[in-house]
A and B are shown apart, each in its own frame.
Chain A
Amino acid sequence: MMQKAEMARTVDAFSPARSRDGTPPTDTSDPQYFHKVVDCQYACPAHTPVPEYIRLIAQRRYADAYMLNWESNVFPGILGRVCDRPCEPACRRGRIEEKPVAICRLKRVAADNKGDVTERLPRVPFQKNGKRVALLGAGPASLTVARDLLPLGYHCVLFEKDPVGGGLMRSNIPAFRLPAKVLDEEVDLIYGLGVEKRFGEAVTSLKAVIDEGFDAVFVGTGAPKGKDLNVPGRAEADANVHIGIDFLTSVAFEHVDSIGKRVVVIGGGNTAMDCCRTALRLGAEKVMVTVRSPRKDMKASDWEIEDAEREGVPVLDNHNPAEFLVENGRLVGVRFDKMRAEYGADGRRKLIPTGESVVIECDDVLMAIGQDNAFPWIERDIGVEFDEWGMPAVDRTTFASTRPGVFFGGDAAWGPENIIWAVAHGHQAAISIDKHCRGEPITERPAPGANLVSQKMGIHEWSYSNDYDNGRRVPVPHADQVTALRNIKVEVELGYDEVLALKEAERCLNCDVQTVFEQPKCIECDACVDICPVDCITFTDNAPEPELRQMLRTPAENLEQPLYVSSDLPTGRVMVKDEDVCLHCGLCAERCPTGAWDMSKFMYVERQAAPVCQRHLDAYLD
Chain B
Amino acid sequence: MSYIAKPIARHPKLKRNALGLTHRDYEGAMSTLCAGCGHDSITAALIEACCEIDLPPHRIAKISGIGCSSKAPTYFIKQAHGFNSVHGRMPSVATGANLANRDLIYLGVSGDGDTASIGLGQFAHAVRRKLNMVYIVMNNGCYGLTKGQFSATNDRASPSKKGAPNPFDPIDLCQLAITLGAGFVARSFSGDKAQLKPLIKAAIHYNGFALLDVISPCVTFNNHAASTKGYEYVRAHNEALDRVDFVPLENEIRAELAAGETRDVLLHDGSTLRLNRLDADHDPEDADSALTAIRSRAARGEVATGLLYLDPAEQDLHATLGTTARPLNAMPMSELCPGADKLAAINAKFQ
Q: Does A536 contact B (CB under 8 A)?
A: yes
Contact-residue bracket for chain B: 35 or more
Residues in chain B near residue A460, CB distance under 8 A? 1-3
Interface centre among B8, B15, B191 (most CB of A within 10 A): B191
> How far does the alpha carbon of A531 sit from the alpha carbon of B31 in the complex, in Å?
9
Partner of B3, one of A6, A7, A96, A461: A461
Contact A591 B2 (CB under 8 A): yes
B192 nearest in chain A by CB position = A6
- The answer on a CB contact under 8 Å between A14 and B236 is yes
Say yes or no: B7 contacts A594, CB within 8 Å: no
Interfacial chain B residues near A531, Cβ < 8 Å: 6, 31, 40
Residues in A with CB closer than 8 Å to B238 are 6, 10
Residue of B nearest to A530 (CB): B44
Q: Are A587 and B41 in contact (CB under 8 A)?
A: no
B180 CB to nearest chain A CB (Å): 28
B214-229 CB mask vs A (1 if < 8 Å, else 0) is: 0001010001000000
Say yes or no for B231: interface residue by CB 8 A criterion.
yes
Q: Chain A residues near B36: list those with CB within 8 A.
A: 523, 525, 527, 591-594
**Across-interface contacts of B5 in A (CB, < 8 A):** 467
Q: Is the CB of A4 within 8 A of B44?
A: no
Known A2-B194, A6-B192, A6-B240; contact A526-B6, beta-carbon cutoff 8 A: no
Q: Is the interface of B mostly helix, strand, loop or mixed?
A: loop
Within 8 A of B (CB), among A521-574: 523-527, 529-531, 533-536, 554-555, 557, 570-571
Q: Which of B7, B43, B194 contacts A533 (CB 8 A)?
A: B7
Residues of chain B within 8 A of A6, CB atoms compared: 192, 194-195, 238, 240
How many Å from the CB of B11 to the closest CB on chain A?
5
1/0 per residue, CB under 8 A from B, across A1-32: the answer is 01110110010011000000000000000000
Q: Which of A2, A527, A534 has the most CB of B within 10 A?
A: A527
Query: Across the interface, do A583 and B7 meet the contact criterion of CB distance under 8 Å?
Result: yes
B342 close to chain A: CB less than 8 A: no
* Dominant secondary structure of chain A at its interface with chain B: loop
Other-chain residue from A7, A97, A571, A587 in contact with B2 (beta carbon distance below 8 A): A587
**A581/B4 contact (C-beta < 8 A), A3-B194, A6-B240, A7-B240 known:** no
Report yes or no: A535 in contact with B231, Cβ–Cβ below 8 A. Answer: no
- Contacting pair B41 A526 (CB below 8 A): yes
What residues on A are CB-neighbors of B235 within 8 Å? 10, 13, 524, 570-571
A4–B258 Cα distance when bound, in Å, is 14
Rounded to whole Å, the gap between the CB of A352 and the closest CB of chain B is 36
Enumerate chain A residues within 8 angstroms of B193, measured Cβ to Cβ.
Answer: 526
Q: Which residues of A contact B (CB under 8 A)?
A: 2-4, 6-7, 10, 13-14, 95-97, 460-461, 466-468, 470, 523-527, 529-531, 533-536, 554-555, 557, 570-571, 581, 583, 585, 587, 590-594
Can you report 24 residue pairs joining A to B where beta carbons are below 8 Å apart? A2-B195, A4-B278, A7-B278, A10-B235, A13-B236, A96-B12, A460-B3, A467-B4, A467-B7, A468-B9, A523-B232, A525-B36, A525-B217, A526-B190, A531-B40, A533-B10, A534-B7, A534-B10, A535-B14, A554-B11, A554-B13, A581-B12, A585-B4, A593-B34
